[in-house]
Structure 1
Amino acid sequence: MDFKELEKFIAIAKEAGASELKYQNEDKKFGISFPIAGATPVTAQVMSAPVAAPTTVAAGTATNDGALEVTCPFVGTFYRSPSPEDAVYAKVGDRVTKGQVLCIVEAMKIMNEIESDVSGEIVEICVENETYVEFGQVLFKVKP
């Protein structure tokens, strides 16, 4: 979908009185929330990613023990599982593959699955569940 098509799509949703609009294709995901009268202005977030997960996080620098750091691509709330009743995506000692979902970071009311950019073993989870995370904060350490 090009920008002109996206603008038309947003205008139609807004005119129809939608409070939120989400769009996803093979390599893009878009979410926008429309304000209620007297509320805050429209917010939007666009991310490039595979369909299976909205956000792929590149591994950061290697630590002294050879582990690679998976960092947060934006600010939000960190969740280890898709819902409180579900099992966690990854725990210390798990073997993960490139592209595997490690967690969710909620940003602007959009749940963003964070994938590993490397295959290896989770050696440390650096964030507590349901806590606020910052851009660039280390979420996981993965030893290839």
Structure 2
Amino acid sequence: MNLKEVQSLITSVAKFGASELKLDFDDTKITIKAKRYNTNNIKVLAPNSDVGVSNFKVPMKVEAAKDIKLSEISEEINNLNQVVIRSPFIGTFSLESSVEKSKKLEVGDFVERGDFLCAIEALKLMNQVNSDASGNIKEILVKDKTPVEFGQPLFIISI
């Protein structure tokens, strides 16, 4: 078997999509293995030139566009009109202020930017949490006198 015949075998294996070809002659053994690649996730990028992407033939998966529901859009718009107040410390959440122990925030209360919302007790120190925005308290997410983590949502304010 000469070099041209071996090249012809290699071309045939590639052309017909075979992954492996084994030949046994009198005193000659030939094994040709073709490596197959997963082409489903290949992205083809063409530079700004005359070479078009249409010149490349790569099988691709085309996913159907997701159906967008009107309720999801209105929910997203509603979320834009809200501010989430998060805990700046690890500690114990308290709705009472040290000054006005009788006044506690409730859902529906109006707060101005900078108003006292709650206190977080950490290492026997009371740390005030003030409002970042003016609006109505839509939801109080933590029960009074419970532990909170850093970054945990405490209030949702509708602006």
TM-score of the two chains, using structure 2 as the length reference: 0.47
Q: Which has the higher helix share?
A: 2
Q: Which has the higher strand share?
A: 1
TM-score of the two chains, using structure 1 as the length reference: 0.52
Aligned pair in 2 of structure 1 residues 63, 73: CA closer, same or farther (>3 Å)?
farther
Distance 1:141 1:118 in 2: 10
Gaps of 5+ in 1: 1-61
Q: How many residue pairs align between the two structures?
A: 82
**Would you identify which runs of 4 or more consecutive aligned residues in structure 1 move more than 4 Å?**
none
Q: Aligned ranges for residues 19-34 of structure 1 at < 5 Å?
A: none
| Cα deviations by residue, 1:77-135 (Å, 9 ceiling, x for unpaired) | 0001136x922442110010000000010011110111001000000000000000000
Residue equivalent to 2:120: 105
Larger Rg: 2
Q: Aligned ranges for residues 1-144 of structure 1 at < 5 Å?
A: 64=79, 66-82=81-97, 86-144=101-159
Percent identity between matched residues is 44
Deviation at 1:64, TM superposition (A): 2.9
Gaps of 5+ in 2: 1-76
Q: Report if aligned partners of 1:89, 1:101 keep a CA contact under 8 Å in 2.
A: no
